[in-house]
Structure 1
Amino acid sequence: MEEDPGDQLVAAHQQELRRGTVVLACLLVLDEPRYGYALLRTLADAGLDVEANTLYPLLRRLEAQGLLESDWNTEESRPRKFYRITGSGARVRDALEAERLRLHAALAALSRPSRPEDRSP
């Protein structure tokens, strides 16, 4: 069975849409320190499936930007790097969340079927 070229376009646009969403999701969740695998599970439990090879570079990038900080926990049998949001990260998170809510409202308004009285003559 041949793949519809439209499917590739949809997949590409979905990936683009998800990129910023994953950043915001991480910033929303990391008020409490979490290690990478626990974060993957938390996101998946919320319905946001992210692959490890996407998440770990993202966490490193957010840390380099000063939005996250990390500490190694070596007290357990297996050392784990725990990430948590910084003050700058919280400010970025709040701004992104406000923008997400604004965009959601705008898209919801655009997706409603228009009523005849709303149409211009």
Structure 2
Amino acid sequence: MSDLILSLKTELRRGTLTLAVLSQLQSPQYGYSLVQRLEENNVSIDQSTLYPLLRRLEKQELLTSEWDTTENRPRKYYMLSDFGREVFQQLKEEWLQTAMQLNSMLQGGISE
């Protein structure tokens, strides 16, 4: 695959990963459990991509986090904030509308 195609695919995927991550944080998740949930839905994400994304979303106040130290290994759990829920709903609606429009165009093929 050419470098251009790889670059365009990465660009396309970047925004969808944010929406995918937000969709899985309706209940508290720690990093590894979040990776597993995404993979169960055929969305692969490297930890080197996930953790910076989680930190950015938390900085944007879309997520809250809390450490659980009750087990041998402390885990940081992430969950949507109230603001994050509002933003997720708006992004979800935008995605569904955009996907419907694109599907309509793409099923018709490329018009000349």
Answer yes or no: same fold by TM over 0.5: yes
Q: How does 1:4-15 map to 2 (within 5 A)?
A: 7-15=2-10
In structure 1, the gaps of 5 or more residues are 115-121
Tell me the distance in 2 between the aligned counterparts of 1:58 and 1:18: 13
Q: Which residue of 2 aligns with 1:112?
A: 107
In structure 2, the gaps of 5 or more residues are none
Q: Does 1:80 align with 2:75?
A: yes
- Quote the sequence identity (%): 41
Q: In the alignment, which of 39, 45, 53 is matched to residue 34 of structure 2?
A: 39
Q: Which residue of 2 aligns with 1:101?
A: 96
The structure with the larger Rg is 1
Query: How large is the Cα RMSD of the aligned pairs?
Result: 1.4
Q: Which residue of 2 aligns with 1:58?
A: 53
Tell me the distance in 2 between the aligned counterparts of 1:8 and 1:40: 27
Q: How does 1:8-23 map to 2 (within 5 A)?
A: 8-23=3-18
Matched residue of 2:103: which SS? Answer: helix
How far the C-alpha of 1:112 sits from its partner, in A, is 2.2
CA distances 1:88-111 after superposition (whole Å, capped 9, x unpaired): 101110111011101111111111
Matched residue of 1:49: which SS? Answer: coil
How many residues are paired up? 110
Q: Which residue of 2 aligns with 1:118?
A: none
CA distances 1:2-57 after superposition (whole Å, capped 9, x unpaired): xx5xx211111111111111111111110100000110111111111000000000
Tell me the distance in 1 between the aligned counterparts of 2:33 and 2:52: 16
TM-score by length of 1: 0.86
TM-score by length of 2: 0.93
